Amino acid sequence: MDEKPITRKTIPDEEAIGKAIIEALKSGRPRSSSAVEKEVATALGLSRAEKAYKIGHSSTALFENRFKKSQSELYGRGLIDRPSLGKLKLTEAGLAYLEAAGEKERHAEEPAKKKPESASDIGPSTPYRVADREPAKGRQAAEASPGNTPFSFVELPKANRQTRKTPPMLPLVLALVAIVLCCIKPLAPLGVLCGIASIALFLLSKNTQIGIKAPKASIALSVLSLFLGVSVAFGAGSPPAAPDSSNPSTTVAESPQRAEQNGAAEKEEAAVLSFSVSASEWESGKTVPVLITCTEGASKGLSELHDAKPGKVYELDFQDGSYTFAIDAAALSDDATIYASDPVSYVFDLKKSHTVKLSLKKDTEAMARIQAEKEAAEKQAAEEAAAAEAAAEAEAKAAAEAEAAAAAAAASAPDNGGYTVYITETGEKYHADGCRYLKKSKIPISKSDAIARGYGACSKCNP
């Protein structure tokens, strides 16, 4: 059977991607944007070709563009937050949307059974795959919706970050305080008032469209506080002891759904890959660059650089796979200090938490070797400089002795042709004693010998 051609309609629209992003973040923990993008693509059933599909000469895949648009829209509406660079987290408004969507789906189950969908609307796509349905349910429907927003599934108004909200745990806290006060007979009326306030806040949070609803246990505890307060106030027997919140056996049982979510979250958080760096001879406050690469597994090809402070443990949001941790010791070394660190490899299987420990220390052997080579080079250079200086002094001394010998020979030689004149090393004239041209060199010679050797008389001193 031929594969269906890929077009922009086969790629999920922003609405479907937005739903999948919220579902991927429902655990409430911060997750990396890349991990959420991979999970969304898997949840939407995208193939490798669909994830890489581009329009025209675009440099970015269409799915990646729509993922970023959905992420920006959810952030602008206050459904998700960015606690740090590259991290995403579901806000209280996002959790409220999940609960509201769950209630809406449960209420819609009965009418859906009475009026089944046509065969053309039911296909093998995933729960979030809306691109294969009618175009009116995708981007076109979003553009035609009020407010021209691509998120028609979000029925919540834009979250106002400055709007005051009732803390979701306040009704529960008031109910517990009411029970404690009702156990003390003089304070029983005050406990009854706290119980009434807890019930009012619970009903208020239940009718609120923005924010998280109060725990259902708060209404049960509030009713209990009212009954207890009335009983104690009118002397109907001794009051029962207040429940010990530190003892799990005496606390109010959670709903099965929330208990299942908490168990799943604890199981998911149980397996965490982390790393730490130990450096005994490292300057306090400075960070160490740690390069993490994935060679096998779901994140194969991953390469991340982390600046880590020694002694601190860093948790990573990684999938299962084989990872290598290495410190760039060469970048930390200089002429005076050389550091060394061995890379560490670990296979993470998402079943057991593990902390990879890296060690950074000074390479004393390499430092001693480099220092010895430096001292040997300095000694050799000093010896060569001393030899060159001695050779220059010997050469100058020999030249002076030769000049003195020539002067003595000239002075002792008989004057066969006149009195003594002087010539220079480079000139072609002979001069009388005291001529200004004899400042650099002065060689005595008889005038007759100078004339015989081709020298002419100086026009300045006229010897």
**How confident is the model over 65-117, as pLDDT tens digits?**
999 999 999 999 899 999 888 899 999 888 888 888 777 776 666 555 555 44
Q: How confident is the model at residue 258 (pLDDT cuts 50, 70, 90)?
A: low
Q: Is the pLDDT of residue 212 over 90?
A: no
Cross-sheet strand order for the sheet of 303-308: 303-308, 288-297, 321-327, 344-348
Q: Answer yes or no: are the C-beta atoms of 277 and 288 closer than 8 Å.
A: yes
DSSP 8-state symbol, 328? -
Which residue type does 278 have? S
pTM: 0.30
The pLDDT, as a whole number, for residue 286 is 81
**Range from 6-15, 246-255, 281-290, 419-428 carrying the lowest mean pLDDT:** 246-255
Matching residue, tokens 């609307």: 121
Question: Over the Cα atoms of the chain, what is R_g?
Answer: 46
Distance CA 367, CA 371 (A): 6
Distances (CA, A) of 410 to 129, 401, 452: 115, 14, 15
Distance CA 373, CA 364 (A): 14
Matching residue, tokens 């959420």: 36
pLDDT above 90 as % of the chain: 19
**Residues 188-209 pLDDT 10s:** 888 788 888 888 887 876 655 4
The pLDDT, as a whole number, for residue 3 is 64
**Range from 284-288, 373-377, 384-388 carrying the lowest mean pLDDT:** 284-288
Q: Is the pLDDT of residue 412 over 80?
A: no
DSSP 8-state symbol, 238? P
Q: How confident is the model at residue 58 (pLDDT cuts 50, 70, 90)?
A: confident
**Phi, psi (degrees; rounded to nearest 5) at 259:** -65, -40
Distance CA 28, CA 122 (A): 32
Distance CA 448, CA 463 (A): 12
The pLDDT, as a whole number, for residue 376 is 92
Selected residue with higher pLDDT from 206 and 463: 463
